[in-house]
Amino acid sequence: MDFKVLKRLIQFAKPYSGYMYLLIFLTISLALLVPIRPYLIQHIIDNELANGDHQGLLNMVYVLVGILIIQGFVQYSHTYLSAWVGQTIIMDIRTNLFSYVQRLNLKFFDKTPIGRLVTRNVSDIETLANVFSQGIAMMIGDLLQLVVILSFMFYTDWKLSLVSLSSIPILIWATYVFKEKIKVSFNHVRTAVANLNSFVQEHITGMSIVQIFNSEEVEYRKFKEINEEHKKANIKSVLYYSVYFPVAEVIQAIAIGLLVWYGAVEMMDSTYQPGVIIAFIMYIMMFFRPIRMIADKFNTLQMGIVSTNRIITLLDNKDHIPNDGEYAPEHIDGNVTFKDVWFAYNDEDYVLKNINFEVKSGQTIALVGATGAGKSSVINLLSRFYDIKKGEILLDDRSVAEYELAALRKNIGVVLQDVFLFSDSIEKNITLGNNDISRAQVQKAAELVGAMDFIKKLPSGFDYNVMERGSTLSVGQRQLISFVRAMVYDPKIIVLDEATSSVDTETEELIQQAISKMMTGRTSIVIAHRLSTIQHADQIIVLDKGEIKEVGTHDELLAKDSFYAQLHRMQYKEVLTT
């Protein structure tokens, strides 16, 4: 067992230490109460029944019933409290994990399957719930119960105790083998679950691609293989259980058989009374139950260790943008400067090389170039979704690293080409659940970008549910909503990433009108696919393979008859041919 991981697991329970101490007290109480019954039954058989003491028998029955009632109450309290503590701790862990995942940078999400993250935040944490509600507390209780039972047994008769426990070494060996086998098995199960979740999530999300390319049969076969691995991993773990528990039962039966044989021989010599033998049979049954349960709970704990290790690995991940800036101005002017900026997603494989440009407040700059030229990387760096390798990015003559992240991103409105909408109302997709944004602010932003006309025509207006990824809206409508979402915060800097590349000409005119309104009085950075949309930009930057090749206005760059002019001719030719 990895005790370092176990230590981290226990740390999750620190805020609830008071409840944990109460749980430990209840656990000790149960451990003491359970073995009292065989002792009382032995006393009843060998004294009250043997001597015909009816009143004494009645009194002992009252005592036995009283102990059972107390035990029942303690058992109820223990079960309820352990479940409450477990679920409360799990709620905190899941909340903290989700909060941490939100702070990870985009590089992490680029290389991590979403289904795997879902497994970490749902399945793995659910496994921890069993650890806190059934695993640790139950194991401690079972261990204490073993100690108390042994104490009663040796106090009653050490010879019978040794005979009764003679088969225990075999059980301990079997338990150890079972523990080691099931540990490996559970690792396979958790891996299989993660793979299954990742596959299902990705393929349901991309089902349109699967159907468009008629690859249902191919993906079905892939799913069957992954599902088969999942089945095999689970069956293997069940196999170990199906072998271990019958073995434990046989060993228990051997122990009882040895006890009965030895006790019967000694009873013939009047060495023992019947009550002692009956009590020891009960002790053995009580003794073997915790051992079996410990093995089972150990596996629950082992699964928790595996899940904890996965969660800790995620929590210890350093792929996040450090939010150590403290500058958070109420207003910014919007002057943006890139100075000798170099950036690579992976080590020294630079996608941006020595980038230099400046955008004054209220100006519009356009970034153009072929796919992979580095246009999107520029805007990702401005919002600090990634950190640069070399150089400096300034906002109002202060490094963006000096800004508090929320303050920085609040002042930069970003509209992406691929608009993502949640399965919720239009208003919630605009405000993203921010209660500080009123309906009046949302309406004002919608009127500004020209989205009010189509929103009013929807059945419930701003309360209309757009369904998953906005499937009930057109591409243009989704794009307009993304404009409203960017403008509701009234940002000083607007970033448009290929905002009109996926819409028809008629919709493009509507969106261009919205863009013009959005740009008024704001610093604008536009990634342009259609060069016709950026002819009036104050400055056009042509990127190629991560380097700036040309800078100038539309007319100036056409006059140079170089990179930009070539791109312009290619698009003009496309328009003529279509």
Q: Model confidence over 428-474: pLDDT tens digits?
A: 888 887 888 888 888 888 888 788 888 888 888 888 888 877 778 88
In 3D space, the residue among 117, 161, 453 whose CA is nearest the CA of residue 279 turns out to be 161
Selection from 69, 309, 273, 93 nearest residue 186 by Cα: 309
**Tens-digit pLDDT profile for residues 256-291:** 888 778 777 766 666 667 778 888 888 888 887 777
Give the residue-averaged pLDDT of 33-41. 82
CB-CB contact of 338 with 378 (8 Å): yes
Q: What is the pLDDT of residue 64?
A: 86
Strands 350-359 and 364-368, by their bridges, are unpaired
User: DSSP secondary structure string, 405-417?
Assistant: HHHHHHTEEEE-S
pLDDT tens by residue, 157-173: 888 888 878 888 888 88
**Binning pLDDT at 50, 70 and 90, where does residue 578 land?**
very low
d(CA 101, CA 104): 5
- Report in angstroms the alpha-carbon separations of 528 from 31, 240, 484, 519: 73, 61, 20, 15
**CATH of region 336-577:** 3.40.50.300
Kindly compute the dihedral angle of the four CA atoms of residues 108, 112, 114, 117, in this order, to the nearest 10 degrees.
-80
Tell me the two tokens of residue 533. 């949309």
- Which residue would you say has higher pLDDT here, 42 or 71? 71
CA atoms of 528 and 547, how far apart (whole Å): 17
Compute the residue count for the chain: 578
3-315 carries CATH number 1.20.1560.10: yes
State the pLDDT at residue 268: 65
**Hey, which of 107-111, 179-183, 262-266, 410-414 has the most confident mean pLDDT?**
410-414
pLDDT at 340: 92
CA-closest candidate to residue 529, choices 329, 327, 294, 367: 367
Residues of the chain with CATH 1.20.1560.10: 3-315
Higher pLDDT residue, 386 or 198? 386
* β partners of residue 97: none
Higher pLDDT among residues 575 and 57, named by residue? 57
DSSP state at residue 530: S
Q: How many other CB atoms sit within 10 Å of the CB of residue 392?
A: 13
**pLDDT beyond 60 at 576:** no
Provide the mean pLDDT of the chain.
Answer: 81
Residue 559 pLDDT greater than 70, yes or no:
yes
Q: Which amino acid is at 216?
A: E
- Average pLDDT of the residues in 87-108: 82
Alpha carbons 199 and 179: distance in angstroms, whole number: 30
The token pair that represents 104 in the structure block? 């990870």
| pLDDT (average), residues 177-181 | 78
Q: Is the dihedral of CA 31, 34, 40, 46 positive or negative?
A: negative
pLDDT at 95 over 50: yes
- Closest to 554 measured CA to CA, from 526, 576, 575, 577: 526
Mean pLDDT calculated for residue range 90-119: 79
Q: Which residue has the tokens 């696919």?
A: 529
Delimit the CATH 3.40.50.300 region(s) of the chain.
336-577
Query: What pLDDT does 339 receive?
Result: 93
- What is the average per-residue pLDDT within 35-39? 82
Average pLDDT over residues 197-216: 76
Task: Say yes or no to pLDDT of 575 above 60.
Answer: no
What does the block give as tokens for 550?
């040309």
List, for residues 137-153, the tens digit of each pLDDT value: 677 777 888 888 888 88
> Mean pLDDT throughout 43-67?
81
**Pairing state between β 493-497 and 412-415:** parallel
Contact of 361 with 521, CB cutoff 8 Å: no
Q: What is the Cα–Cα distance from 355 to 337, expressed in whole angstroms?
A: 10
- 73-95 burial, b at 16+ Cβ within 10 Å, e below that, comes to ebeebbeebbeebbebbbeebbe
Closest by alpha carbon to 259, among 154, 167, 193? Answer: 167
Please, which residues bridge with residue 497 across strands? 527
pLDDT score recorded for residue 315: 80
d(CA 103, CA 319) in angstroms, rounded, equals 9
Q: Which residue has the higher pLDDT, 393 or 288?
A: 393
User: How large is the average pLDDT for residues 380-405?
Assistant: 89
At 337 the pLDDT is 93
SS3 310: helix
pLDDT grade for 341, boundaries at 50, 70 and 90: very high
Average pLDDT over residues 326-345: 89
**Residue 10 reports pLDDT greater than 60:** yes
Query: What is residue 338's predicted lDDT score, i.e. its pLDDT?
Result: 93
The SS3 assignment for 39 reads: helix
